[in-house]
Amino acid sequence: MKTAGVIFMIFLALVCGGIASTLAYNYLKNQPTDKGPELEPLVVAAKDLTFGETLELGDMIVVLFPKGSIPKGSYSNPDSLVGKSTKVFLMAKEPILNSKLSSIGGGLSLLIDKDMRAASIQVDKVSGVSGFILPGDRVDVISTVDRYGTKQDVVAKTILQKVEVLAAGEKMERKGDKVITVQAVTLLVDPDGAQALALASQEGKMHLALRNPTDDEVLAVAPISKSNFWSTKKTEKPKVKKSSKPKPKKKVTKPVEIKDDSLVIIRGTDKKTETPVMTEEKKAGSTKL
C-alpha cells in the first residue's frame, strides 16, 4: 500500500510540474520582446583626417548605426569612396558624408573662393609673429626695402591689410653657414594682391602683423623711410598771413566855425545862425562907451 501511495504522489507531482511548465511557456511566449533599433552599416573615418586628403581603404571603417539616425548623404560601402578628397577636417569615428568630399581634386585649392588666389611668402620666426600665426588668422603684410629711390633709403610700406591665412608651417633652411628656421605662410588674396606679394618678396623683406579677427577696418597707412623716422627736425607751423585789407579811416568832424560870437543851431536838416542875448547887450554897451 505504501508503495502504491508513493507512486501516486510521484505521478501527481509530474502532472503538476508539466502543467506549470506549460503555463509558464505560454505566458513568456505572449510577452512583447524588445529587440532594439534596426541597425545598418555606416562608413566613418578611422582616424583624424585633414582637408585635401585622398581617401584610402585604411582611412575608413564600417560601423553599425541605428537606421533612423543615419545622416543624409552617408555611405555604407567604403569602396565607393576610394580616391575622393576631403574638403574639411574629419575626426575619428565621424561619418563621412558626400558634402564633405570632392571628386575634382584635393588639397588647398578646395579652400580658395572664386576670383581669389593662394599666394605663399617666406618670413623668419620673428617677422612671422614668432610662429603664432595659424590658419584662419587675419594679418597685415609689411614690406621693407633696403635701398629705395635715388637716396638709397630704407622704406617700410604696408602693402596688404586684413588678409586671411590659409596655411602656415615651418621648415629648416641653410643660409650661408647657418641653419635658420623659415616660416612659410600661404595667404588668400585677390589677383592684385598676389602680384603685390610677388613684387614685394622679390624687392625686400616681408613682415606680418597679426590682427584681431573682429577688426575689419582698413586704415590709410603712409609709407615710412629711415631718414624720416630718425629725423629730429621739427616741422614749422605755417605762418598765418595777416589780412592786407586797409583799415577803415576814422571820420574827423571839423569844428563849426563861429563868427562874431554867433551860434550855429542845427535841428535835423535845418541850420540857422543866432546871436545870443548877452552878446547883443555886450555890443550895445561898447557902443555907449
Closest CA to 159 of 105, 202, 223: 223
Give the three-state DSSP class for 277: helix
Percentage with pLDDT > 70 across the chain: 65
- The pLDDT of residue 74: 92
- The pLDDT of residue 238: 56
| pLDDT higher than 60, residue 96 | yes
User: Between residues 163 and 184, which one has the greater pLDDT?
Assistant: 163
Which region, left, alpha or beta, applies to residue 2 given φ > 0 means left and ψ of -120 to 50 means alpha?
Answer: alpha
- Measured CA to CA, the distance from residue 66 to residue 38 in angstroms comes to 6
**Distance between terminal CA atoms of the chain?**
208
| Residue 183 CB neighbour total at 10 angstroms | 21
- Give the CATH number, domain containing residue 86: 3.90.1210.10
Is the same domain home to 217 and 177?
A: yes
- The pLDDT of residue 42: 94
pLDDT tens for 37-62 read 789 999 999 998 877 788 999 999 99
Is the same domain home to 94 and 197?
A: no
Is the same domain home to 90 and 142?
A: no
Across the chain, mean pLDDT equals 77
Query: Any idea of the CA torsion for 245, 250, 251, 254, to the nearest 10 degrees?
Result: -140
Note down the domain range covering 53: 39-108
Q: Which residue has the cell 607751423?
A: 237
Is the same domain home to 90 and 119?
A: no
H helix and E strand count, the chain: 4, 12
Is the same domain home to 225 and 118?
A: yes
- The pLDDT of residue 183: 78
* 262, part of any domain: no
- The pLDDT of residue 287: 47
Give the three-state DSSP class for 119: strand
Using alpha carbons only, what angle is made at residue 187 by residues 181 and 188, rounded to the nearest 5 degrees?
A: 170
Last residue of a domain, one of 51, 86, 108: 108
Backbone angles phi, psi at 94, to 5 degrees: -85, 135
Verdict on whether the full-model pTM lies above 0.75: no
- Measured CA to CA, the distance from residue 54 to residue 103 in angstroms comes to 10
User: Between residues 73 and 104, which one has the greater pLDDT?
Assistant: 73
Provide the domain count of the chain.
2
pLDDT tens for 211-263 read 998 898 999 988 888 888 887 555 555 555 555 556 666 555 555 554 555 56
Element (H, E) at 242: none
Got the DSSP string for 26-38? HHHHHS-------
